[in-house]
Structure 1
Amino acid sequence: MNHLIISFITADRPGIVEVLSDLITKHKGNWQKSSLHQMSGLFAGVIEIATAPENLSALSDELAALDGFKMQIEHAQQDKSAPEAVLVLELTANDRAGIVQEISSIIHHQGGNLLKLVSTQEIAPHAGHELFKAKVTVSANNQNIDAMIDALENLADDLMVDISR
């Protein structure tokens, strides 16, 4: 199987996922992983699709031709390598400008690779101020994990880090 990674953005409207999934099914593709989001009136996403080599070109061409979509299509090899350790970090802090940069910088400088980041802003219960919440998946060398977690926990007094391995 060959893999396509597509990223897209389009005006939000009903039926977007149906259009994409119909096209993928038409070309005997398998929708494997995705992250889809509605943001400020737009719908954006990233989808990993597995398909037979003989269907790759036609599927890519039809995806690229979808009306109203800004589409990026990449052919990828499936990654068979396994990182030494994968951590899922749930982070909560008072929201502030630069917090994603601070967190990503610590992960990078401690030898980690940020695999996934999903973040939100929420109003703190009983306090009324903005909270930053994120779920971060990181791969790292086992020898670097403790230092990375310590650095994240020392980033700010208000940052809470919950870890699962």
Structure 2
Amino acid sequence: MNHLIISFMTADRPGIVKVLSDLISEHSANWEKSSLHQISGVFAGVVEIAVPVENSTDLADKLAELPGFKMQIEHVQQQDSASESIFVLELTANDRSGIVQEISSIIHHHGGNLLKLVSTQEIAPHAGHELFKAKITVSAAKSTIDTMTDALENLADDLMVDISR
């Protein structure tokens, strides 16, 4: 099997996932992992596809030809699982400019690899100001998890960190 990673953007409308999944299915391929989002009227996503070697080029060509899609397609080798621990951080703080940079710098400084970041802005109940909320999946050596978490908690008085392993 070959693996394709596709990233795409298109104007949001009903049926986008069906168009992609039909094309993938027609090529005897398997939709393995994805992250799809509607943001400001645009539907965007990243999808990992396992496809038989003999269908790989044709599928990539057909995906690239989809009308109305901005598409990037990468042929990749599937990676073995890392020997590091994977854990999830859930962060909540008052929103401010630069918060993602501060968080990602701490993770990097402590040897972590940020695998997934999903963030939102929400209005704080009863206060009315904007909150930053994030769910971050990180891969790191077990020995660094506690110091990384401490560093994140010390980033600001208002930053709450929950960790699950």
Which of the five TM-score ranges fits, normalised by the shorter chain? over 0.9
Corresponding residue for residue 56 of structure 1 = 56
Corresponding residue for residue 29 of structure 1 = 29
1:51: Cα distance to partner?
Answer: 0.9
1:82: Cα distance to partner?
Answer: 2.2
Corresponding residue for residue 129 of structure 2 = 129
Q: Distance in 2 between matches of 1:9 and 1:84?
A: 32
1:4: Cα distance to partner?
Answer: 0.5
Q: Distance in 2 between matches of 1:83 and 1:60?
A: 32
Corresponding residue for residue 82 of structure 2 = 82
Q: Distance in 2 between matches of 1:81 and 1:24?
A: 25
Which runs of 5 or more residues in structure 2 are unaligned?
none
Aligned length: 165
Out of 96-105 and 75-84, give the one that drifted further: 75-84
C-alpha contact 1:83 1:139 (8 A) present in aligned 2: no
1:87: Cα distance to partner?
Answer: 1.0
Where do 1:84-103 residues align within 5 Å? 84-103=84-103
Where do 1:136-155 residues align within 5 Å? 136-155=136-155
- TM-score w.r.t. structure 1 length? 0.98
1:14: Cα distance to partner?
Answer: 1.0
Q: Distance in 2 between matches of 1:35 and 1:85?
A: 22
Q: State the identity %.
A: 78
Where do 1:10-29 residues align within 5 Å? 10-29=10-29
C-alpha contact 1:95 1:130 (8 A) present in aligned 2: yes
1:146: Cα distance to partner?
Answer: 1.4
**Deviation per CA, 1:42-99, whole angstroms, max 9, x where unpaired?**
1100000011111100000000011111100001111113232111000000001110
Which runs of 5 or more residues in structure 1 are unaligned?
none
1:147: Cα distance to partner?
Answer: 1.3
Q: Describe the SS at the equivalent of 1:19.
A: helix
Task: Give the aligned CA root-mean-square deviation in angstroms.
Answer: 0.8
What amino acid sits opposite 1:76 in the alignment? V
Q: Distance in 1 between matches of 2:79 and 2:133?
A: 29
1:32: Cα distance to partner?
Answer: 0.7
Q: Distance in 2 between matches of 1:81 and 1:98?
A: 31
Q: Distance in 2 between matches of 1:140 and 1:84?
A: 5
Q: Distance in 2 between matches of 1:35 and 1:128?
A: 30
- TM-score w.r.t. structure 2 length? 0.98
